[in-house]
Amino acid sequence: MRFFPSFCVFIAGSVLFGCAGGSTSSTPRDVDNNDNNYSSLASGLTTDGSIVIPNASVTRDVTPRVEISGPILPTVYKGQYVDAQKKSLYDYEGINYPEDLDGEKVLANDTSLTFSYLLEKCAPILNGNEEPEYPMIETTSLTDDALTSAIAANYANVALCAYEKYGSKPYWIPALVNHVDICGDVLGSEWRIITENDITNLTDDNYTFIQNTLAGIPDSDNFWSNFYFSLKVYIRANDNTLKIANLTPDTSPRISDLPGEVSQDAKQHLEGGYVLRCIREVD
């Protein structure tokens, strides 16, 4: 068990996420104000699963807060907990892929699972004993100044629930990510896909902060972590093509083409742990 010193993240003179010290833990568990089993490294998290990078700006001279969203993952199969209006991405690839942009937008909306959606849906799931399957998920009282450990617990257990109950994997169809503004349509107009300029403007310290934030969450290195903790993200390159960026510190090359000879307009799902994370700046 590794212990880390406590620290706070300050934005505009106020404590944004609270302060917490502690250690990494390999087992999701309930947390309270005395819990010390979550690393303070996770203090970049917000209650909606995004990572706020302090002192970062990707488009302006001023220093707003830069947020990178939790991953938007598609539903790839219809399990018992998936809402009736949700679709399985696998059912619409290849020859079944939508014929026009309107159809693509519907498919993107009907397969996208956001952190907030999963948080709400996973909390009330009961196990065979009619007890909460994920009792450590808290949905009623957390705010962004809550104890870091509680926010980290939510993230860890939403990640587990996404995999166990919702068949959610980062196996997007490239054409769908390329053609549809999934970030803006699903999260809101202030969100957009990460761009090559964003990747260039983020600093080495920013990339270290992103990695440390996720590394401070329990179970971030478990077998399903590739699905919810991946730092390999889709981006819009300067030439308007769809590419992959690796947000891990000290990575080279930082930006690469889609693997193999996969086209950005490919209509078959792409495996490999490539997630869709979105970005926004808020003054």
Q: Give pLDDT tens digits along the chain (283 positions).
A: 222 222 222 222 222 222 222 222 223 323 333 333 333 445 588 888 999 887 666 655 555 678 999 999 999 887 777 887 889 999 999 999 999 999 999 999 999 999 999 999 999 998 888 888 998 888 776 655 556 778 888 898 999 898 888 888 899 999 999 999 999 999 999 999 999 999 999 999 999 999 988 887 877 777 666 688 899 999 999 999 999 999 999 999 999 999 988 999 999 999 999 999 999 987 6
Residue that is written with structure tokens 């260039």 in the block = 200
**Which tokens hold the place of 163?**
């995999």
Q: Quick one: how far is CA 166 from the chain centroid?
A: 15
pLDDT number for residue 38 = 36
pLDDT number for residue 170 = 92
Of 37, 195, 168, nearest in space to 90 by CA: 168
pLDDT number for residue 12 = 26
Cβ(40)–Cβ(19) below 8 Å: yes
Q: Quick one: how far is CA 219 from the chain centroid?
A: 15
Q: Please, which residues have CB within 8 angstroms of residue 211's CB and are 6 or more apart in sequence?
A: 231, 247, 248, 249
**Which tokens hold the place of 165?**
């109950």
**Which tokens hold the place of 221?**
């290195």
The 10 Å CB-count burial string (b at 16+, else e) for 5-41 is: eeeebebeeeebbbebbbebbeebeebeeebbbbbbb
pLDDT number for residue 2 = 28
Residue that is written with structure tokens 């891990």 in the block = 248
How far is it, in rounded angstroms, from Cα 38 to Cα 45?
A: 12
